[in-house]
C-alpha cells in the first residue's frame, strides 16, 4: 500500500497521532504540527537510558515514526497552517472545534479554501450532543463506551485495559474512516468531514456483547478464568492461557498434560467438568506450575490448545516476527538503533519504516514553499 497523499496532523493525544502513524505507514507525507515544546507524546516516558529527552520518548518514537515535524504556534501561526491545509489532501486532528474554529481552521473555512479536503476529527464524544464539550481520560471513555462493564472478574470491580486503548481504537477507526471518505472523494470529487467519537468507537468494539443492547440483556464480567479449561494459569516462569472448553480440545489437553488425574470419570463430560470445576482447576494448575514457559511453548507450537503469554523481548526475538519482518531496526539520531513495528500490512509493497522526526526538523522545508507562494 502506498498513498500519494499530503496529510496534516494536528494532534494533542494518541488518537490523532495513531491515525497519523497509519497514514505514514501507508506511504503518505504526514506533516505533524507541533507546539514549540513538542507534541505531548514526546513528554511521556519511558525515555532512552531513563533520561528525559523529548527526542527519545518511547511513545513519540512509536507513534510519530515516518512523519515530518513542523513547529508552529497553532494560534499565532494559524494562517500558515491554513495555507498548508489548503495544499493538502487530509487533515487529521483530535483538537476540538472550539479550539480550531476561532483560529479560522473550521471545517467550513477550510473546505471553502480546499473543496477536495478530507477532514477527520476525533474527540471524546463527538461534535454534537450534551457531552460534546466534555473531556475524557482513557478510563472514562472505556467506562462510558461499555468496555469496563465486561472486563474483570465476576462480582468484583470492573477493570480497565492498560494505557490509552480507547484512543488507540479511535485512531484506527479514524484512519479507516478517512480511507472510506477518500474512496468517496474519488467518486464525487468533493471533500468530506468525519466526526468521530471515542465513546462511539469503544461501544462498537464490544464484540457480541453489544448485541445484548438489542435483547435487553446486560452482559456481565466473566474474568480471565471462565472455567477450569478456559483461563489463565501461572507456570514456572510466566503465564499460560488454556482454551479447551470444546470436547475435542479437552481430549487434546489431556494428551498434552499427561496427567492421569484428568482421566477421572468426574471430568469425562462438559457438565462433569463444570460441576467439579475447583478440583479440575487445582489439578491443571499443579501441571502448569511444574512446567516452564519453554516447555509449554513447544506444546503450543505442536497445536495443543494453549498459548504462553509472551514478553516484549520474546516477541522481538521470535522466529514468527523475524520471518515476517514485523519488528525492524531503525537508526534514530538521538535514540540510536531502535526496534520499530512495521506497518500492520506487512508485505513487499509496504512503505519503509522511517524514524520519528526531531522537533521542528522539517519546518523550513514545509513552510518555505508556502512563504514563497505568498510573496
Predicted pLDDT of residue 3 = 86
Let me know: does 102 contact 95? Beta carbons within 8 Å. Answer: no
Mean pLDDT rounded to a whole number for the chain: 90
The verdict on domain 6-207+346-374 having CATH code 3.90.1150.10 is: no
Domain ranges of the chain: 6-207+346-374, 230-316
> Residue 373 pLDDT > 60, yes or no?
no
Q: For position 52, what pLDDT does the model report?
A: 96
Q: What is the pTM of this model?
A: 0.88
pLDDT at 349: 54
68: nearest Cα among 113, 20, 115:
20
Top pLDDT among 209 and 89 is at 89
The residues near 117 (Cβ < 8 Å, ≥ 6 apart) are 85, 86, 88, 89, 90, 91, 110, 111, 191
Per-residue pLDDT at 168: 95
Q: What is the pLDDT of residues 139-189, one digit of tens each?
A: 999 999 988 888 888 788 888 888 899 999 999 999 999 999 999 999 999
Tell me the CATH class for 230-316.
Answer: alpha beta
Asked if the domains at 6-207+346-374 and 230-316 fall in one CATH topology, the answer is no
Amino acid at each position: 500500500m502506498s498513498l500519494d497523499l499530503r496529510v496534516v496532523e494536528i494532534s494533542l493525544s494518541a488518537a490523532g497521532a495513531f491515525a497519523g502513524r497509519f497514514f505514514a505507514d501507508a506511504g503518505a507525507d504526514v506533516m505533524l504540527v507541533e507546539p514549540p515544546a513538542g507534541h505531548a507524546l514526546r513528554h511521556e516516558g519511558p525515555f532512552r537510558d531513563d533520561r528525559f529527552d523529548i527526542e527519545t520518548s518511547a511513545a513519540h518514537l512509536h507513534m510519530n515514526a515516518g512523519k515530518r515535524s513542523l513547529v508552529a504556534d497553532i494560534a499565532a501561526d494559524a494562517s500558515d497552517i491554513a495555507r498548508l491545509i489548503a495544499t493538502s489532501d487530509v487533515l487529521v486532528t483530535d483538537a476540538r472545534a472550539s479550539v480550531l474554529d476561532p483560529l479560522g481552521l473550521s471545517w467550513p473555512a477550510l473546505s471553502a479554501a480546499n473543496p477536495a479536503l478530507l477532514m477527520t476529527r476525533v474527540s471524546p464524544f463527538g461534535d454534537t450532543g450534551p457531552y460534546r464539550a466534555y473531556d475524557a481520560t482513557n478510563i472514562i471513555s472505556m467506562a462510558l463506551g461499555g468496555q469496563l462493564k465486561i472486563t474483570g472478574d465476576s462480582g468484583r470491580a470492573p477493570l480497565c485495559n492498560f494505557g490509552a486503548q480507547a484512543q488507540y481504537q479511535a485512531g484506527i477507526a479514524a484512519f479507516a474512516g478517512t480511507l472510506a471518505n477518500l474512496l468517496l472523494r474519488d467518486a464525487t470529487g468533493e471533500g468530506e468531514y468525519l466526526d468521530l467519537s471515542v465513546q462511539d468507537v469503544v461501544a462498537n468494539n464490544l464484540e457480541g456483547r453489544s448485541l445484548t443492547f438489542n435483547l435487553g440483556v446486560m452482559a456481565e464480567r466473566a474474568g480471565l478464568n471462565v472455567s477450569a479449561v478456559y483461563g489463565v494459569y501461572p507456570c514456572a516462569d510466566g503465564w499460560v492461557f488454556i482454551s479447551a472448553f470444546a470436547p475435542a480440545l479437552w481430549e487434546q489437553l489431556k494428551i498434552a498434560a499427561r496427567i492421569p488425574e484428568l482421566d477421572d470419570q468426574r471430568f469425562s463430560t462438559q457438565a462433569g467438568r463444570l460441576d467439579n470445576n475447583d478440583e479440575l482447576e487445582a489439578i491443571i494448575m499443579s501441571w502448569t506450575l511444574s512446567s516452564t514457559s519453554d516447555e509449554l511453548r513447544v506444546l503450543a507450537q505442536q497445536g495443543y490448545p494453549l498459548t504462553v503469554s509472551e514478553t516484549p523481548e520474546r516477541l522481538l526475538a521470535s522466529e514468527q516476527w523475524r520471518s515476517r519482518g514485523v519488528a525492524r531496526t531503525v537508526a534514530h539520531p538521538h535514540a540510536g538503533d531502535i526496534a520499530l513495528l512495521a506497518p500492520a500490512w506487512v508485505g513487499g509493497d509496504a512503505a519503509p519504516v522511517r524514524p520519528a522526526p526531531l522537533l521542528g526538523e522539517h519546518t523550513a522545508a514545509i513552510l518555505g514553499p508556502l512563504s514563497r507562494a505568498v510573496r
